[in-house]
């Protein structure tokens, strides 16, 4: 999608973000006793060197488009304050277990996850160079992330903390990305299977009596799969307790459906004590059409507690025209999403 066409689509999307939810509320009111109130989010990063005037302009554009809350990566107090001044609810966007950090590389190389082939993500990151994942089973890693989250939760400019990359590396990439990386992942391949560090092996052996490296078919071993899901869940729930003690919200970006999340990255996100989840329902990554977004939302809503909102993560560059945009938002809201969260080019939204 070229930039001119993308901006045209985003111009149309401003109308839909502002007006379409009301149409859906009216339609649903025919079938339910109470109308729903929707909330829309966006993932975004802003240059810390940008002037205050430029930041205020861009945040004003987002708010005018119907976005009410922003997940800000790499922000600081000045950026947070300007977003709030434009009426946006501000959440810090934190890359949790994926930490391409030189200080960690120099001082804590042992914290990094290890593949079934014995390679650390520090020495041999899978797929891309920044895929340096930490192991969630390690107490020191949990303490490290707890400290970061506690600092964010204590920031008065923030309404909450948003966790991203709160998972293991993709044991299987979404099929739409196989060609890009020259892979065929129709099974769990050892170089992409994590984590087999000494801590994970010892903790699993203490419970199950077997070293996961000795398993004849790790992919088929239910207890080993569940151990890794539980390891991430314990970490998330610990971080949630910290954020909630500061009376703030905690949310997370997760893989698109509970089944896909468990299989591909060991996320059991229906078990997480979050205030909301944002499944990244990037349909083109899975070689699906836009209609799949509605199906994925339905699966997620059905798996969550009734009081836990789900905001459907939409990948804007994959929505080719206004009709697809409308279909994506409509499908998500009709199936029970509490709103949408947008990724990709959101800062380019022009004024209405």
Residue 178 pLDDT grade (very low, low, confident, very high; cuts 50, 70, 90): very high
Burial of 68 (0-12, 13-18, 19+ CB in 10 A): middle
Which among 331, 145, 143, 132 is positioned nearest to 250, based on CA atoms?
Answer: 145
CA 283/CA 25 separation, integer angstroms:
25
Which among 153, 144, 167, 342 is positioned nearest to 269, based on CA atoms?
Answer: 167
Handedness of CA 178, 301, 236, 47 (dihedral sign): positive
Name the strand (E) or helix (H) holding 254: strand 249-254
CA 252/CA 80 separation, integer angstroms:
19
Calculate mean pLDDT across residues 90-114.
Answer: 97
Both structure tokens of 136: 């969630």
Calculate mean pLDDT across residues 76-92.
Answer: 96
Domain ranges for the chain, please list them: 1-94+280-352, 96-159+177-252
Residue 106 pLDDT more than 90?
A: yes
pLDDT value, residue 18 = 42
pLDDT value, residue 36 = 76
Task: Map residue 251 onto helix, strand or coil.
Answer: strand
Structure confidence by residue, pLDDT tens digits, 218-233: 999 999 999 999 999 9
Q: At what angle do helices 77-85 and 52-64 cross, to 10 degrees?
A: 40
pTM of the model: 0.90
Backbone phi, psi, residue 13, to 5°: -65, -25
pLDDT value, residue 35 = 61
Structure confidence by residue, pLDDT tens digits, 258-272: 999 999 999 999 999
Of the candidate ranges 2-6, 86-90, 143-147, 331-335, the one whose mean pLDDT is the lowest: 2-6
Residue 345 pLDDT grade (very low, low, confident, very high; cuts 50, 70, 90): low
Which positions ≥6 away from 285 have C-beta within 8 Å?
174, 175, 176, 177, 315
Q: Concatenated DSSP letters for 114-126?
A: BBTTS-BTTTS-S
Report in angstroms the alpha-carbon separations of 102 from 59, 122, 130.
Answer: 32, 10, 11
Residue 52 pLDDT grade (very low, low, confident, very high; cuts 50, 70, 90): very high
Residue 350 pLDDT more than 60?
A: no
pLDDT value, residue 343 = 94
Report in angstroms the alpha-carbon separations of 68 from 38, 43, 74, 192, 296.
Answer: 10, 12, 19, 38, 23
Both structure tokens of 283: 């349909």
């Amino acid at each position: 999608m070229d930039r001119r066409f993308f901006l045209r689509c985003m111009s149309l999307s401003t109308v839909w973000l502002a007006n379409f939810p009301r149409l859906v509320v009216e339609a649903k009111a025919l079938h339910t006793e109470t109308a729903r109130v929707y909330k829309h989010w966006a993932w975004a990063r802003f240059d810390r060197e940008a002037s205050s005037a430029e930041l205020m302009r861009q945040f004003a554009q987002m708010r005018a488009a119907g976005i009410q809350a922003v997940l800000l990566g790499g922000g600081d107090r000045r950026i947070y304050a300007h977003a709030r001044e434009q009426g946006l609810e501000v959440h810090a966007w934190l890359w949790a277990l994926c930490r391409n950090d030189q200080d960690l590389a120099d001082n804590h190389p042992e914290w990094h996850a290890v593949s079934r082939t014995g390679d650390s993500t520090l020495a041999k990151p899978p797929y891309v160079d920044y895929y340096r994942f930490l192991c969630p089973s390690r107490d020191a890693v949990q303490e490290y992330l707890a400290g970061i989250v506690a600092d964010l939760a204590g920031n008065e400019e923030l309404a909450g903390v948003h966790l991203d990359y709160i998972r293991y590396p993709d044991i299987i990439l979404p099929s739409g990305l196989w060609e890009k990386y020259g892979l065929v992942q129709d099974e769990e391949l050892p170089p992409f299977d994590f984590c087999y560090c000494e801590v994970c092996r010892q903790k699993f052996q203490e419970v199950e009596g077997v070293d996961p490296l000795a398993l004849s078919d790790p992919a088929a071993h239910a207890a080993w799969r569940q151990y890794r899901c539980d390891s991430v869940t314990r970490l998330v729930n610990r971080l949630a307790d910290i954020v909630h003690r500061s009376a703030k919200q905690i949310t997370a970006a997760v893989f698109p459906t509970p089944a896909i999340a468990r299989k591909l990255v060991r996320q059991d996100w229906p078990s997480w004590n979050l205030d909301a989840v944002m499944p990244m329902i990037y349909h083109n990554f899975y070689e699906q059409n836009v209609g799949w977004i509605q199906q994925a939302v339905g699966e997620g809503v059905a798996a969550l507690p009734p009081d836990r909102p789900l905001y459907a993560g939409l990948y804007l560059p994959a929505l080719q025209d206004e009709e697809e945009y409308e279909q994506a938002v409509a499908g998500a809201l009709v199936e029970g999403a509490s709103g949408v969260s947008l990724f990709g080019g959101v800062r380019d939204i022009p004024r209405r």
